[in-house]
């Protein structure tokens, strides 16, 4: 007996981040399902998605949008509203603000896996630091809020990726949600490739060039702690030159990312994350995480077992946390990460689909 027919959706597939990893794992949980997305750039997201039946919106034809989907922000709501899902029993949408607007086919149910209610509407100061960007968003704000609420309330079931996101969903929409933690998908046994110019023993932070990642506080904290090197996955903003103790890695391959996790002293992050997969990815290699005592890190980090807290997103707090980081047992660190398996995630998704289909 076959299960319900499922259509998948994700905001846009143009980068290699935690949300995209979740979307990839959804395609593995439902391998026969198409994936709808507004914009798809195979060269800059996870290569495994090239084998998936990905269907895009009218925005796909604009090369600039494939390079930076934020340029398409005024058009993303119309793009999702105009997309038509193929016939199915359930739409399962992975959303940080757009895919939840996909209309379910007649008679179908809709499950939204929410990474966070859209930051530019509900947490603009955390997401958009530029005064110019905030000014550009202001005229759209009222219309997008109305569209966002209509999209959210069209769901039959909301899944939240952390307890903090569940609280934000309730605050934004007045909706209850079920917490389903994202999976750790990295394979610590797979091939590793050294990053040129780095020797083992560095501090590591992972960012994608957005203000809310708080990279400056991490690098300044490392410098204040007296260490010589911090490796940063990502590229510095155009108006910010790299400092001598920083090693900006740019875009790294999966093999290089595995090497970074395996050879770092610890992962350091003081961003306000919806869940925060990177600490668990580092933990998979026995590497501890030194992270902000806030947001999704409260779900993914066990202080004294898998990592250590930073009390606030400032350089002095980072330096203090690095100085007080205890020696942690790498085997216990790995065991903590193993609790967040892809198998458990897949089971919970299938359970959610079955619940709304019953």
Q: What was the pLDDT predicted at 130?
A: 56
Gap between the terminal Cα atoms of the chain? 15
Residue with tokens 């319900």: 4
Query: What is the residue whose two structure tokens read 């490796």?
Result: 231
What does the alpha-carbon distance between residue 159 and residue 152 come to, in Å, rounded to a whole number? 11
Query: Sign of dihedral through CA atoms 331, 299, 119, 18?
Result: positive
Question: So what's the pLDDT on residue 221?
Answer: 96
- How far is 142 from 137, CA to CA, in rounded Å? 10
Q: What residues form DSSP beta bridges with 90?
A: 6, 109
Look at the block and give the residue holding tokens 């949300």.
19
Q: Parse the chain into domains and list their residue ranges.
A: 6-183+341-357, 202-337
Stretch 31-35: mean pLDDT: 98
Q: Which two three-digit tokens encode residue 168?
A: 């934000």
Rounded distance, CA 246 to CA 196, Å? 14
What fold is seen in the domain 6-183+341-357? Rossmann fold (3.40.50)
Helix (H) or strand (E) holding 202: strand 202-206
Query: Could you give the CA distance from residue 285 to residue 183 in angstroms, rounded to a whole number?
Result: 15
Quote the pLDDT of residue 210.
52
Q: What is the tens place of the pLDDT at every residue in 220-265?
A: 999 999 867 999 999 888 788 888 999 999 989 999 999 999 999 9
CB 328 within 8 A of CB 288: yes
Domains 6-183+341-357 and 202-337 share a fold: yes
Nearest to 55 by CA among 29, 88, 30, 33: 33
Give residue-wise pLDDT tens across range 208-220.
655 546 899 999 9
- The answer on pLDDT for 205 being more than 60 is yes
Mean pLDDT on 78-82: 97
pLDDT number for residue 223: 94
Count how many residues are written for the chain: 358
Contact 115, 96 (CB under 8 A): yes
Q: With H, G, I as helix, E, B as strand and everything else as coil, classify residue 31.
A: coil
Q: What is the mean pLDDT of residues 264-275?
A: 91
> Is the pTM of the predicted complex or chain greater than 0.85?
no
Q: Using an 8 Å Cβ cutoff, are 33 and 59 in contact?
A: no
**Per-residue model confidence as pLDDT tens digits over 272-325:** 887 878 999 999 999 999 999 998 899 999 999 999 999 999 999 999 999 999
What is the pLDDT, as a whole number, of residue 127? Answer: 54
pLDDT at 124 over 80: no
What would the pLDDT profile of 125-178 be if each residue is shown by its tens digit?
Answer: 655 555 655 666 677 888 999 999 999 999 999 999 999 999 999 999 999 999
- Complete DSSP assignment for 251-314: S--HHHHHHHHHHEEEEEE-S--SS-SHHHHHHTTT--EEEESSTTHHHH--BTTTEEEESSSS
Quote the pLDDT of residue 131: 62
Q: What percent of the chain has pLDDT above 70? A: 94
What is the CATH code of the structural domain delimited by 202-337?
Answer: 3.40.50.2000
């Amino acid at each position: 007996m076959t299960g319900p027919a499922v259509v998948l959706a994700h905001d846009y597939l143009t980068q290699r981040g935690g949300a995209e990893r979740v979307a990839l794992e959804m395609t593995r949980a439902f391998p026969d399902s198409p994936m709808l997305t507004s914009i798809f750039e195979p060269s800059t997201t996870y290569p495994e998605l090239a084998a998936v039946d990905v269907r895009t919106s009218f925005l796909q034809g604009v090369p600039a949008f494939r390079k930076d989907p934020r340029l398409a922000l005024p058009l993303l709501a119309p793009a999702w509203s105009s997309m038509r899902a193929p016939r199915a029993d359930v739409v399962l949408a992975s959303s940080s603000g757009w895919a939840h607007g996909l209309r379910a086919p007649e008679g179908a149910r809709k499950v939204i896996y929410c990474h966070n209610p859209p930051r530019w509407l509900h947490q603009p100061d955390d997401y958009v630091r530029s005064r110019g960007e905030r000014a550009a968003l202001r005229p759209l704000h009222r219309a997008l809020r109305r569209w966002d609420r209509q999209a959210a309330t069209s769901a039959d079931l909301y899944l939240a990726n952390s307890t903090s996101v569940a609280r934000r969903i309730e605050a934004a929409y007045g909706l209850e949600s079920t917490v389903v933690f994202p999976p750790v998908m990295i394979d610590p046994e797979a091939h590793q490739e050294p990053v040129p110019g780095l020797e083992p023993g560095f501090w590591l932070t992972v960012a994608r060039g957005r203000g809310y990642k708080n990279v400056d506080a991490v690098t300044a904290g490392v410098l204040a702690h007296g260490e010589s090197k911090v490796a940063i996955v990502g590229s510095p903003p155009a108006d910010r030159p790299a400092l001598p103790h920083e090693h900006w890695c740019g875009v790294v391959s999966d093999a290089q990312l595995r090497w970074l996790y395996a050879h770092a002293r610890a992962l350091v992050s003081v961003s306000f994350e919806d869940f925060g997969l990177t600490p668990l990815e580092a933990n998979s290699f026995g590497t501890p995480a030194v992270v902000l005592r806030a947001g999704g890190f409260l779900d993914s980090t066990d202080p004294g077992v898998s990592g250590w807290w930073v009390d606030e997103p400032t350089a002095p707090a980072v330096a203090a946390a690095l100085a007080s980081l205890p020696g942690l047992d790498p085997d216990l660190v790995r065991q903590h990460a193993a609790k967040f398996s892809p198998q458990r995630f897949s089971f919970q998704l299938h359970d959610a689909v079955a619940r709304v289909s019953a």
